[in-house]
Amino acid sequence: MDAKTIERLREMKASNVHYDLLQFYRTKISRAIIKKDAAGAFDLYFDGFSYFYEVAENGLIVDLTNYLGDCFEKSQFEPSEQLFSLIAKVVLRFGDDNDHLPPSEDVVQALLDARQKFIDSTVRWSKKFARGNTQEHRFGFADLHSHIGDAFFEQKSLDMAHNHYLLSNDPNKLSSFLADIQKTFAPSSDADLIIARAVLQLLCLDMFPNAREVLVLYSKKTGKNIHQLPLMAFVDSLMDAVCLNNVNKLNFLLETYEEQLERDPALKSYIDKIGKFYFGFKSPSQGGFRDILKGLMGSDTTEETAKSHLAASSAAQAQYKARPTPDADLDDGFTTADEDSPPTSARGNMEIDDDLD
């Protein structure tokens, strides 16, 4: 900020004219964005945030944050690491001084809503610059989500960090995050549930290659053998079924792991989505994963059919056709690799269409 602006802000703060001060910040932020001075716009915002927080004008923080997000969404700033870092700094600012947050739950919620609205605005801004990449058109820039995820992780807002890391297109970072969760926050018995949930979510997002890689990396980083823990074995075999478009194998897996899948009710909604997305089953009920990522994915942009697995599917089909014919006792399409030693006994026959409708 220039000396004249700093002096004007000092005078208005001394006079306690908070509404006029808000208008001054808004005007200056707008002019900075028009001049493509992102650093200047954010400096003004952080100065205003700090002052209004100090004087407990939380409603003005909400107003100023909404205004910055609206202006930023309409701007022509090119996406850059500098801008992603500034956006993440806004997220972090809402997590500062938690011991001094206002006691009113309504006020706290208003501040958190403003933070989420700002994030939504920046994601929509980044979509404008999508470079022919389907994922960028749907979710915005992966690097932006990576920075936001880092900010939430620093605040220990683990669910929010998880959601953004899913969209970061960075299997190494996501697997490291999940491994840290497993070692630090979760009981050892949930080691397979943590990764299974993430793999299914990635499949719902049509990020098949990432799902494969995250599972392998998580196994290496935690020392957990994919084939020795039930839900890890399930998602590994599920991805094989997806590659082969093998409904019989899917049915077998759902029967075999039925009890394990009941450990988290959300798993059912993910599998419903996968059934529709990869196998063409009837549309499941709304909710579940859509609700988890509400605000991150934009309006209804989910494709009706998955595509990210097609390269792996072609390779798997070729490999499968080259294998010796299975024993006659096995159902068509089954192999003995994944299904031989299920961790739980198979229950009665399930009708796949009924289960996924």
Share of the chain above pLDDT 90, in %: 68
What's the rounded mean pLDDT across residues 154-159? 93
- Average pLDDT taken over every residue of the chain: 82
pLDDT tier for residue 185 given thresholds of 50, 70 and 90: confident
pLDDT tier for residue 305 given thresholds of 50, 70 and 90: low
pLDDT at site 219: 97
pLDDT at site 339: 44
Taking the CA atoms of 301, 305, 311 and 313 in sequence, report the sign of the dihedral they define.
positive
The first and second tokens of residue 325, run together, are 């014919």
Choose the most confident range, by mean pLDDT, from 74-78, 99-103, 197-201, 342-346: 197-201
Amino acid identity, position 160: M
HEC string of the chain?
CCHHHHHHHHHHHHHCCHHHHHHHHHHHHHHHHHCCCHHHHHHHHHHHHHHHHHCCCHHHHHHHHHHHHHHHHHCCCCCCHHHHHHHHHHHHHCCCCHHHCCCCHHHHHHHHHHHHHHHHHHHHHHHCCCCCCHHHHHHCCHHHHHHHHHHHHHCCCHHHHHHHHHCCCCHHHHHHHHHHHHHHCCCHHHHHHHHHHHHHHHHHCCCHHHHHHHHHHHHHHHCCCCCCCHHHHHHHHHHHHHHHCCHHHHHHHHHHCHHHHCCCCHHHHHHHHHHHHHHCCCCCCCCCHHHHCCCCCCCCCCCCCCCCCHHHHHHHHHHHHHCCCCCCCCCCCCCHHHHCCCCCCCCCCCCHHHHHC
Share of the chain above pLDDT 70, in %: 76
Instruction: Give the whole-angstrom CA distance, residue 28 versus residue 1.
Output: 10
Place of tokens 């839900």: 231
51-60, 130-139, 209-218: which has the minimum mean pLDDT? 130-139
pLDDT tier for residue 312 given thresholds of 50, 70 and 90: low
What's the rounded mean pLDDT across residues 66-83? 94
What's the rounded mean pLDDT across residues 334-353? 34
Residue 241 has pLDDT above 90, yes or no: yes
* Cα of 92 vs its chain's centroid, Å: 17
Residue 356 has pLDDT above 80, yes or no: no
Confidence (pTM): 0.81
Which domains, and CATH codes, for the chain?
A: 1-129 (1.25.40.10), 170-357 (no CATH)
pLDDT tier for residue 295 given thresholds of 50, 70 and 90: very low
pLDDT at site 337: 38
